[in-house]
A and B are shown apart, each in its own frame.
Chain A
Amino acid sequence: MKNIINSQFKMWSLVLALLMTTISCNEEYLDIPLPSNALAAEGAFSSIGAIDQMMSQLHFDFADKVVARYSMNRQFEPYGDNGYNARNLNLYLTNTLTPIDEGLYSWSALYRAVFSANFLLEGLPEADAPELDEATRNEYIAAAKVVRAYAYYQLVRLYGDVPLVLSTYAKDNQFLPRSPKADVYALIEADLLEAVTKSPSTPSQAYYINNKYIPQAILADVYLTQEKWSEAEAMADAVITSGHYLLDDNIDEVFLRSSTATIMATGYSAVYSEAEKNLAYPGADQCPADLNPLFQGFFEDTMFALTEGLLNSFEPGDLRKEKWVAFSNVNDYSVPAERYFASKYKFFGYYRAFDPAPGKEEDNKFIRLAEVILIRAEARAHLNDLGGAADDLDAIRNRANLDDTTASTQGELLDAILHERRVELFFENGKRWYDLVRTGTADDVLKVLPYKTGWTADKVLMPIPKDEIDKSGNALTQNPGY
């Protein structure tokens, strides 16, 4: 009997001992499958499906983070002299941003776009997806370079010297200090020039970054900002003479998807997604009730309006004032000028909940032919080709039902071009603000506006967010005046 018990005991002990040993050594037990909605970063570039989706992310980041979301539109119109906000965004209106203000999300948003581009630029050259041919690889690399270049172009214009981040490894980049503006512009030019050579020369979808005229148009602007007049003229000329773009005869059609003058737009597909709905049209969610077909009788009160200065700068008979500016009947505004709103995009919608009528689809225009023509005009004026400059200027004026320009000297022409840019490009991605800074006129123009209580000449650059300076262990430095 005792033996039986003993042997039973030994057997059980053995079983348990074995079990325990297995348990403690069984590392494989803890291996788990990946979630169904994710891919391992490692090896992702071996799949064309994954690469395509990463490219879609890049396009989205460009639309969301470089162009629309953090509102180059809304914020920088009041920051300059075009816009006036009815209730919020006072810090922009009065130029009283401080390094702790929320509006500075532009910094992180732009660097997030830089990250997306760097991620692709690291992966694409080595990508071994069998379906990825060389032409497509080059096109994708070019698109990533355009996004990176444009994000840096925004950064360098908003903040001045900025850290040059060229890789995705966070620990290498966390404490990078600011690089001189010249280095940043060098990178922008190199990226865009490479994009020009790697992009196809035929535009297929206007709102994709997939042809060489997009980097060329951006380069024209970049050269203009750097006062490289002949390079700017050449680049603008290349786009204008490519034969792919025509100014719309009818000013009503400029912002439609069907416009022949669109060089680049962050557009929307027929079937729009949640993400796209969040990409607000310029001013679309800021429109007063009586201008919004969706919610007659109600409005959201965070709209912003045209300043008196902009309103008065339209010449008599300018079709653009007639077609691109709307008057609100809502009697909530004490100042008459505040009752005029930009209505370049006719199809308003809080969340764009209705589909527009066929042929009336609109895309968020980012670079239009008119702008490139005005770049060439300005470059020509600086290069003393006054005739050529006036011709370009008149092409824009005539379309707006205005007579040829009366400006004749170089100085007069440059003033006329700057004015034309204001009335042509108002409420489009804050371009007026960049013009004021680029031409060195910001201080003169803004310091006389009575409501600009916080204006100083230093405000041509944004403050670096305090958070970022703190997190960098003071590797980042603050701009003067903040």
Chain B
Amino acid sequence: MEFKLTKVISTHRKKNLQWLMRAFLFLFCTTVFSFSSSDVFSQHAKINIETDRTISVDEVFKLIKEQTDYRFIYTQGMFKDFPKVELKKGTIRANKLLALSLSADDFEFKVSKNKTILIFEAPKKNSVRSIPQQQISGKINDVNGQPLPGATIQLKGANKASSSDFNGNFTIAASIGDILVISYIGFTTQEIVVADDKELRIVLKESIGTLDEVQIIAYGTTTKRKSTGTISTVKAEAINQRPVDNIMQALQGQVAGLSISSSNAGLGSPPQILIRGINSITSGTNPLIIIDGVIMNENPGGLLGGRSASNNYQDGLSVLNSLNPNDIKSVDVLKDADATAIYGSRGTNGVILITTKGARIGETRVTLNVSTGISRAATVTERLNTSQYLEVRQDAFAMGNVTATSVINPITPDNFNAPDLTLWDQNAYTDYTRLEVDNPAPSYNADFSLSGGTKENNFITSVSYAKKYDTYIFDPYQERYNMRFQYNHSSKNDKLKLSINSIMGIDNQKFSTLSVGGTTAVSSVNAPNFEWYKDDGSYNYGEGQGYISGSYYNSLPNGNIDRFSKTYNTMLSGQLSYKFYKGLTGKIQVNYGSQRNSYKHIYPTPAINVQNIYQTVPEANFSTAHFQSLNIEPQLTYEANVSKASITALVGATFLNDSNKSTGNRVLDPGDDNLLFNYSAGTSTATSSSSENKFNSIFARLGIEWDDKYIANFTFRRDGSSRFGPSNRYANFGSVGLAWIFTQESWLEDSNLLSFGKLRGSIGNTGNNNIGNYGYLSLLDSPYQQYQGNAQLNPGSYANADVQWEETNKLDLGLSLGFLNDRFLLNTTYYRSLSSNLLVQLPLTSQTGFSSYTGNFDGEVQNAGVEFELTTNNLSANNPVGWKTTFNFTHNKNQLKKYDGLEESPYANTMEVGRALPSTNSRLRFLEMPYHFEGINPDNGIPIIKDANEDGRVDYYDYFNNSAWIGSSTPSTWGGMTNTVSYKGFTLDIFLQFSNGIFSKWNFWGRSIGELYNVSTDVIDNYWKQPGDVTKYPRLYTGVTGDNTYIAPLDNYYSNSTANVYKGYYIRLKNVRLAYNLPTSFLSKLHIGNAQIYVSGENLGVYTPEKLYKDPETFWPLSTGALRTITTGIQVSF
């Protein structure tokens, strides 16, 4: 006789009893896992034994039945001849007891849903099919009772499958005792034993945060249970239907170790993406982003090639804008050496693998999702109304000048120095802030997808459209068209597989001419009684009145500026694999990516504003940029099971070629606005550039699993890059990852509390080659300018033929724990990465003609930290209310570990050994090195600024200098928490996100308080009025005249001082989403499978311990920060 095990992947015929029993327990564990714990024989089912005694097997079953709600069905007398079981006084797990009792021969176990275990003698070999087949029918629902149409029902061990219809009903031919495997995307796959011919009621549970979820890794997949590396996975649920314009925004706060921040709130601008801190001083911090195998342009803002005139949009555009967030199935973030070393020279900053939704097998299914929303500025600074404003201004003039001899020297306002007090209407009022930045902005989104097919041929296609307006004046918007098609083919014998995936997207951006980041004056701070129109209806610029340009600004001409960007994004990937020998598969993957951007900035005559002295003639700028990459990767994989070991081996190669081309054309003052589009009209200039980069690698990976307990993973990669001189092109990278699933050990299998435990560690090295192309070559380049009608050529930089890789050594230690049948899953990681052979600017004395050159330096940058991820199901599964929490937390310590001779280096002013590296965003560096504000001098109301560098004077050198450093603006701690509560058809998600850092709270523009511009309302009653006043704000200053000794601290020093810097944390209510699934009974009449309506709010609130007048994440004084967006929509599938 032999046992047939229902849930063991490969059936071994060994009659080893112990092994059998362990397998039996495994059955229980996994069954528990997929069923709800109330109706199965769970691990915490315990049997109490009152005295030591010896009983028969039948009595054992009776005992179990008495103390648990389990029933056993077996033929009477089956265990008549079985030896008796000796029991000791105490408590024993039911599983263990069963194992003790059944100590011989072959039985078959069938666990059915209704707490019944069938035990019968296993049929003789080849007699399985002797049981007659019949039509088994059933219905598949989710936990909310909603039917799941299109779920796949497969007969285990047979090539037979079916799928559920619109109402979740299915039929399949099967025999009693057969196992049905029920799977559905996003849900835990379940196995059901056919016990009788009654209709099956199957409830599938959503598969978030489970251990056996697929995780995508480089050139393969793994699971949370088996991985040796540190990989975080974000599933579609957390991304889809978030009202974001870029998928990265949806990842903020979702992944331990991944920090996403945007200092520029402009719609469509790329967020800064950092995985585990800044590793490099000069050679880039962006992770490698791969979408379905297609490598994205490594500079996310790299579009807008010759963007000479787009300085208001200096960060460029994110290449991910043209991706539809609803197409995404999962995002996997690879962090440690084990996961990233196989990407070799590009793995240092981590890897983000984005996978789009795959095709479904079964009846063709249509999904439609339509939503609409409205955005407002999340934070608007309240500014003075006209009477408050005029009072402040009059006060300023009454205070007048401060001089060495007298603190108060009133000035008389006149038409020239104070037109707002003498010329303009004293009752006119415009709330310029709201007018400029808080216009209700609608958004629309629609996507449609179609998927279906057989196991051999299946497909998915989706089409989507989205448009989102910004709240700035003149309706800037972002618009996306996206189309995707995936086709998969598999040969009958499963040997040949083909997959073709294409994504095409168009991203249109209409820019706001008032977009953040520019130096152009903006109207938010206009005096509230300034008027945009004169009495005769013409535009009012305040010509001839006053003398401070830009303090009262007329934005109206800007409405005629046309700034528009269009990006075409194409990603094609194909994968062909053939299994030509047992376990041996050959594969070739070809990926092509193209991002083509065209940008125009038309500044016609009606846009000319006499206030804008930088732009006095009509002008047009056109630029194009085209990034292309072609990546070919042949691979060979081998899988085998030897004894208790399962081995996976991979060898492959990469041929990558990418290129960047850009052109720019500028037409200046062509005489007629219609000729602005004529490249040869007026004064025209053109620029062009191109560069190419090639990559060539071989890589290998060997994975060994022993007894599902010990796992080892080895990777190796040899990389060659055209970025380095011929002698330094190649380098080797590799890693070792080890994991031990200690809950598989016999001494822990009895634990009731601990259901999963894994200890893992990895060590290895990766590289960084983000130094730009051609660094090793001595080139003469044209500086894009002409002199006396001639182009110029110049050795632009000092070439260093010896430049080579920057290397990072990574160490990771992780502990993963699952408690109470994995209801609570905890994952903690300690990591440390040490970058050396740093690519930096090495100093040259200016007498050489250069100030520095790119080279390697024996310095070290370290990032060390801990990551913490927790997933909990707070209520037991039989509670009608579901409540799940996911939480992640990261603390990272970034440090310049070693840099001998830093004083002589170009970094002498901005870095210090032992300290964090300054922000990679140069604008944020101003926050890290501000003037030090030490209060307002009560005697004269002038801000006291510290002589930070102790050179005896307060000046520019007390700013933006090492001695002024107050900390890093790059977050050291961040994370997020999502709570999902579901009841019947309702699901509520609440997502909180937090981060720390240094943020700007400067919400003014211009110079000192009291000048001709509007300030925030809290200035009232908080400024210095007379000697002896102790106040928050300094004295007022008219802006008319004064002694520089006092003016400098009042305007420049004060506004750039710690008084206007917020150092701390914020917690943001990032998203709240309420969804309702319409009841099936209602939908089935309409032949609709599933329908959900939802309402979602993004950026609903933010908390900081100190009151700020702006969003902590935005740098620019007048920017609104992240938009507050309320979206409502409906999703239907049929």
Contacts and interface: CB of A to CB of B under 8 A. Distances in A.
A273 B696 CA distance: 42
Contacts of A36: 661, 688-690
B1105 interface: no
B847 A468 contact: yes
A280 interface: no
A98 B956 CA distance: 13
A262 to B, nearest CB: 15
A36 B690 CA distance: 5
B793 A44 contact: yes
B787 A56 contact: yes
Nearest to B848: A170
Given A35-B690, A334-B1041, A112 B846 contact: yes
A268 B798 CA distance: 30
B844 interface: yes
B77 interface: no
B887 to A, nearest CB: 45
A353 B617 CA distance: 7
Contact of A37 (B688, B718, B729, B1044): B688
Interface stretch (B446-454, B579-587, B869-877): B579-587
B545 interface: yes
B636 interface: yes
A26 interface: yes
A209 to B, nearest CB: 12
A12 B785 CA distance: 56
Contacts of A44: 780, 793
Interface stretch (B210-218, B771-779, B975-983, B1024-1032): B771-779
Interface string B684-709: 01011111111111100000000000
A273 B782 CA distance: 14
Given A24-B718, A35-B689, A354-B616, A53 B782 contact: yes
A295 B613 contact: yes
B843 interface: yes
Contacts of B545: 297
Interface stretch (B188-196, B832-840, B849-857): B849-857
Given A23-B653, A119-B795, A295-B549, A165 B848 contact: yes
A173 interface: yes
Interface residues of B, number: 88
B773 A9 contact: no
B162 interface: no
Contacts of B904: 470-471, 473
Nearest to B726: A27
Given A174-B845, A350-B613, A42 B778 contact: yes
Contacts of A20: 651, 653, 698
* Most A C-beta atoms less than 10 A away, residue of B692, B791, B848: B848
A276 B668 CA distance: 15
Given A19-B653, A294-B613, A476-B845, A100 B957 contact: yes
Interface string B747-777: 0000000000000000000000000011001
A199 interface: no
B967 interface: no
Interface string A59-77: 1100100000000000000
B542 interface: yes
B655 interface: yes
B788 A29 contact: no
Contacts of A406: none
Nearest to B635: A16
B786 interface: yes
Nearest to A109: B846
Nearest to A468: B845
Interface in B610-625: 610-611, 613-614, 616-617
A30 B722 contact: yes
Interface string B624-661: 00000000001010000000000000010101000001
Interface in A165-180: 165, 168, 170, 173-176
Contacts of B793: 39, 44, 50, 53-54, 56-57
Interface string B595-614: 00000000000000011011
B773 A108 contact: no
A34 B774 contact: yes
B206 interface: no
Contacts of B548: 298
A451 interface: no
Nearest to A85: B1044
B543 interface: yes
Given A53-B790, A269-B788, A468-B845, A295 B610 contact: yes
A23 B778 CA distance: 28
B655 A29 contact: yes
A472 to B, nearest CB: 5
Interface in A251-302: 267-269, 271-276, 289, 294-300
* 10 closest A-B pairs by CB: A115-B849, A275-B785, A108-B846, A56-B790, A273-B786, A298-B549, A170-B848, A41-B778, A60-B787, A57-B792
7 contacts: A26-B696, A27-B720, A35-B689, A59-B787, A298-B547, A298-B549, A300-B549
Given A36-B689, A272-B683, 11 more contacts: A8-B580, A9-B584, A12-B580, A27-B720, A36-B688, A111-B846, A165-B849, A297-B542, A299-B547, A332-B1040, A350-B613
